[in-house]
Amino acid sequence: MKADYEYLLLTRIDDHVLLVEYNRPQDANAKNTAMSEEQHDLFESLYVDQNGIRCVILTGRGKHFSAGADLKERKEMTDAEWQRQHAQFEQGAIAIKNCPVPIIAAVNGAAYGGGCETALNCDFIYASTAAKFALTEITLGIIPGTMGTQHLAHAAGERRAKEIILTGLPFTAEQAHSWGIVNKVCQPDALIDDTLATARRIATNAPLAVMRGKRAISVARYTDASTGYQFELEAYNRLVGTEDRREGVLAYNENRKPDFRGK
């Protein structure tokens, strides 16, 4: 994992939590090609080596989470250039989905278009009362292209997803919460602290178990119940022989906090 990027600000907290901030506040954290490449690089590197990171918080610097693709950069693009850029966006989205470390989106402001899709690609979402969401692609003659049609339908149901995507209208954090898109709505000045409290809780648990639990839930969404259960059992049985499993049981019996080491 690189120490720094141009458009991503990384802050390591308590050894095991990584705060990632989109860092183009002057452009509402709209994603240009370079930012997308950096997102791909960061989360792909966490797939290969977690480097002690057990939970990631993804948010935006300034007043917004992300306004989606940078349409100023796209203004003069040819069709081929647009599709080439979108291929990079696709890889950045896939890197988030494939990251074995849990990722919590802390949506602090506008999450529009690809920014909304990015939040949906995370494992779950905490949102400020100031947050606004929208999938506006339909108003530009396209549709969501980084798994928005998939994840929104799973979170909010097919009918609500069709309404949101086919109108392109924005919705509030409170609406997102009531529709099952957002897990928790926070006051603006409490958003990061509330998200960090949950991230720290996740980070205290056995990292191998957390990663396999995350993967088992994700697999279950896209397969039949029997296949999903077989994946769960395979993941479970792989954890039985780990040092962390033995440490967890020993700590319980000794009435102390376990010291999980990811082994």
Residues catalogued as catalytic:
69, 114, 117, 137
Cα distance between residue 92 and residue 211, in whole Å = 20
Cα torsion for 60, 62, 66, 70, to the nearest 10°? Answer: -130
Contacts of 169 (CB under 8 A, 6+ apart): 134
Residue 106 half-sphere exposure, CB side, CA atoms within 13 Å?
28
Six-digit token string for 190 = 């409490």
Six-digit token string for 244 = 């962390």
- Count the helices and strands in the chain (H runs, E runs): 11, 9
* Torsional class of 62: left (φ above 0), alpha (ψ -120 to 50), beta (otherwise): left
Q: What is the CA radius of gyration of the chain?
A: 19
Contacts of 19 (CB under 8 A, 6+ apart): 10, 11, 12, 13, 56, 57, 59, 192, 196
Cα distance between residue 237 and residue 112, in whole Å = 41
Six-digit token string for 99 = 């990251």
- Do 111 and 122 contact (CB within 8 A), yes or no? no
